[in-house]
Amino acid sequence: MKRFVHTLLLAALVTVSPLAVTDAFAAQAPYGNSMLQVGSNGAEVTKLQQDLRLLGFFNYPENTGYYGEVTATAVKKFQAANELEQNGKVGATTGPLIEAQALKLRPATPKAVDTAMKYVGVPYLWAGNTPSGFDCSGFVSYVMGQSGLHLPRIAADMYAGGTPSATPQSGDLVFFSTYGPGATHVGIYLGNGQFISATSSHGVKVDSLHGGYWGDRYIGARSYLK
């Protein structure tokens, strides 16, 4: 009988333990499921850098997604300001504190951004302006229309309106000169150097505004949201 009960207890532990451990660890590590330190990279590091920037500790020109000495120094400054051990690492003590403080300062995400992200993966369709298929301006027009904002149908006309934004904010429109002069492609800025648009090669997707194909063709941003 004892052996039978022992077997049942082991089976229960095997079934429950992985989920419990994962949930507990995730609660301790808001920037992913591992400690962030020099050499770490990815979306968790980008989020960390953005939060440190909001708090005034990270002043690098852009969020790189790479945890180098600049990020480590910013973390140490945060730790010193909060009387924590200054080890330059973000784990179960430093991480939740950074996130909690940054949460109070984060601007609300515009509805347009949340709406746009629902359509990642929708195929490209020339002149398309519905969820069955979008071209770049059709996508932006549709998404902004869901927020009650009715824009011109083509990218060049969108670029001609709005308020110029030297530093794009979440929900601003970002413009590119691709196959001709002027604004020929438009997307919606998400924040953290990322934007979303309907591309002819991969449909609706998220890309980096800095560097690469899009960085070389970026011509400016316009704000339409109040």
Q: What span, in angstroms and rounded, lies between the C-alpha atoms of 165 and 183?
A: 15
Contact at 8 Å (CB) between 139 and 204? yes
pLDDT, tens digit (0-9, with 9 covering 90-100), for 31-71: 655 689 999 987 788 789 888 988 999 998 777 889 999 99
pLDDT value of position 68: 96
Q: What are phi and psi of 127, to 5 degrees?
A: 70, 10
Say what the pTM is.
0.57
Tell me the mean pLDDT in the region 131-159. Answer: 95
Listed range (41-45, 129-133, 186-190) with the worst mean pLDDT: 41-45
pLDDT value of position 58: 93
pLDDT, tens digit (0-9, with 9 covering 90-100), for 5-29: 344 333 433 333 322 222 222 333 4
Tell me the mean pLDDT in the region 199-211. Answer: 91
pLDDT, tens digit (0-9, with 9 covering 90-100), for 72-127: 999 999 999 999 999 999 998 999 999 888 877 766 668 899 899 999 999 999 99
Domains of the chain: 40-105 (1.10.101), 109-223 (3.90.1720.10)
Query: Closest Cα to residue 190, out of 79, 84, 116?
Result: 116
> 31: buried, middle or exposed (CB in 10 Å: 19+, 13-18, 0-12)?
buried
Contact at 8 Å (CB) between 203 and 121? yes
pLDDT value of position 30: 58
